[in-house]
Amino acid sequence: MKDNIININLETSTAPIIAEARGRDWIEYGTDDWRNLYPQFLIDLYYSSSITAAIINATSEMIAAENLIIEDEDDRNFDARVKLQNFMNRANSNESLHEVIKKIAFDFKLQGAFALNIVWSKDRTQIAEIYHVDVSKVRCAKPDAFGKTPGYYISADWRNTRQHKPHYVPAFNPNDRTAANQLMYSGLYSPNMNSYFTPDWVSCTNWSLIDSRISEYHLNNISSGFSGSFMINFSNGIPTQEERFQIEQSLTDKFTGQNNAGKFVLTFSDDKTRTPEVNAISPADLDKQYLALQELLTQNILSGHRVTSPMLMGIKNDTGLGSNVDELNASANFFLNTVVKPYQDHLVKQLRKIFKVNDMDMPVNFVQLKPITLEFTSEDLKGVMTEAEIRDELGLEPLDVEVREDFSKVGMIDGKPVFSTIEEAVAHAKTLGCEGYHEHELDGRTAYMACEGHDAAVELSKFIEDYGEDMPEGYELVEEERVEDEDLDFDFEKVLNEAADKKIELASTGRALPGRKSEQDGISKKTYDYFRVRYVYAEDEFLVNKTGQNRRFCRQMMGAKKLYRKEDIQRMSDMVVNDYYYSKNQKRNIGWGAKGALKYDIFKYKGGGNCQHFWLRQIFKTTIGESKTTKIEDADLIGYTKAKSEGFTAKKNSPLVAKPPKRMKNKGFLTPR
């Protein structure tokens, strides 16, 4: 009866098969049903399994992170840093390095490997460009006598190699630069795989396949009038083989739709007394069984990807986010450290091979997307962050703060108001950007002043009043740039004026006042040009959150809109101008400086750890009279001075003054938080 039964077999093997084929120069990478097409099989699973697609999308975004940045190390070569930054801005004619990384991160997660086209310069001394190569189009050449892969074959469509003939590209090798293009193919270790790298979710591909089959089942049931699985028995004689196939085709066209949704078995017998029978061979509630199977396959797919909480991948579960925060935090930490981090470390390792060729090998690190997790308790965070900052870190909307204007002041101390109630002092603190209150004795009664620390609240206001300047009258702004590689002791203004004229008539007023001259100020005897260099507290537009300036120090500095001399900023570093809190455990005041110091280098670290601001250098010029000599271009003077600032000391100057602490290593803290 074997010939009398026609069965449609959907059994599929998903384990990758690596084999050398006779007459082929490449090693085939496929399965029993997908010969040399295993990468395409994974792509089909991505498109057909919604759970798999969600996990791969989310994970690849985590791997690519927000950006790739250069780690700050004072002993690194400045030229290498500049070259690397330029390369990161333009990895090829169309893309930045991070845009390339986003593509290879996706391949890395989906396929378990990635590929880069390395383009050498004409003289073969530098890597001119790198391009992403779809790793599904890559096949390994047969290994040489030493077991190494000498190169790779690339085809636009491995299903039709006659039309899309594979072309050979040598493997990336900095010691052999004969070819203009080379291919870097890499991935994480895969056991029992000599040439290729399998994805880390290979163990759950069968479950992803089941997920795709379930979606097909429901789709076909809707689009087909013949659903379920049936046995059809014809008892009026046994037709020929050709007739059997014709019957099958007619039934398929009439009842099952284009995708063969209604699978069936045909049988024939020589009993003319019986009429044809149609019998269901599957339960009537097969759809309910599929729904029960959904939960099982979801869990297995998540386990295969090492995801302990579906919410991390954007997959809703029954527990809900609000009631399961601790579990979600633990899952995020586990996934970022055990899954995402190894991917990122491997990418950095391979990229630095490229950087080394171009003499720009600098330590780089991924700026991770804002995590869901918190490594500290709320009590820990309250000590060093404002309420608005904590809510922003949690991804919560800012609280509406009612700003009162009707405070009942009972007096003034050090130019600052004091109030009769704690409530009024705390409310006034919110308008200043600080938290809490502190007590004073006034006329024999206890009065309350805004902010937890008196010194910080008063000293900063006093500093801004004494040292802050407005834009000088009669001057024009000729240059504005982030402060990079400028040592705190370098007199930029003095060197700039000396570049215009070697003979400077120094003029100092003694005590610094708004609109006063700096010790570096002078008048050029030759050009009659006079330069002033000042510094502005500015915000990084890409970092500042929607809640605005949350830290009192930053709010006051930004609100004042003043200019400062460098020597005045140095004075600020010797003062307690930023908020601090009293630690009951350490029994001392804790500030934003190293190890909780109240004073720190504000030129470098601005408002402290996680701060979103930087110093902007502004150069002003005025002309006293008509020049009697050939005028030197301003750009040449400024460029000369900037170059001199970079070589001011034998040791590499710190670029931290140009960078918001939030963009620094560990977000400006000594250790990761």
- DSSP codes, 503-518: -B-----SS--TTPPP
- Rounded CA-CA distance 421/447 in Å is 7
Least-confidence region, from 58-62, 70-74, 210-214: 70-74
pTM equals 0.52
Q: How do beta strands 151-154 and 167-170 pair? A: antiparallel
- The better pLDDT of the pair 547, 491 is held by 491
Residue 102 neighbours by CB under 8 Å, 6+ apart = 60, 61, 64
The answer to whether residue 330 scores a pLDDT higher than 80 is: no
Specify burial of residue 405 (Cβ count, 10 A radius: 0-12, 13-18, 19+).
Answer: exposed
**What is the C-alpha to C-alpha distance for residues 320 and 333, in angstroms, rounded to an integer?**
18
347, pLDDT greater than 90: yes
| pLDDT, position 382 | 56
pLDDT tens for each residue of 385-428 = 666 666 555 555 555 444 344 456 677 776 678 888 888 888 87
Is the pLDDT higher at 437 or at 39? 39
**Cα of 266 vs its chain's centroid, Å:** 57
Assign 261 to helix, strand or coil. coil
Residues 6+ apart with CB under 8 A from 532: 472, 475, 493, 518, 521, 619, 620, 621
Cα-based torsion angle of the residue sequence 144, 147, 149, 155 in order, rounded to the nearest 10 degrees? 80
Q: Is beta strand 563-564 parallel, antiparallel or unpaired with respect to 529-539?
A: antiparallel
- pLDDT tens across 497-511, in order? 777 665 333 322 233
Angle at 395 between CA 606 and CA 670, to 5 degrees: 35
Region 185-212 average pLDDT: 89
Q: 672: buried, middle or exposed (CB in 10 Å: 19+, 13-18, 0-12)? A: exposed
Confidence check: pLDDT of 1 > 60: no
Tracing tokens 């919110």 back to the chain, one arrives at: 430
Q: What string of DSSP letters covers 35-69? A: TT-HHHHHHHHHHH-HHHHHHHHHHHHHHH-SEEE
Beta pairing partners, 446: 441
- In this prediction, residues 307-327 reach a mean pLDDT of 67
pLDDT by residue (tens digit) across 255-305?
A: 554 455 455 555 666 665 555 565 554 555 555 666 677 788 888 999 999
How high is the pLDDT of residue 127? Answer: 96
pLDDT digits (tens, 9 = 90+) for 474-500: 788 888 887 766 777 788 888 887 776
- 136 — pLDDT class (breaks 50, 70, 90): very high
* Single-letter amino acid, residue 283: P
Spatial contact of 519 and 621, defined as CB atoms under 8 Å apart: no
User: CA quadruple 566, 570, 573, 576: dihedral positive or negative?
Assistant: negative
Strands 151-154 and 277-280: unpaired
Q: Are 504 and 522 in contact (CB under 8 A)?
A: yes
pLDDT band, residue 73 (cuts 50/70/90): low
Residue 156 structure tokens = 């636009």
Q: What is the pLDDT of residues 594-627, one digit of tens each?
A: 888 888 888 888 888 878 888 888 888 887 654 4
> Residue 231: in which H helix or E strand, if any?
strand 230-234
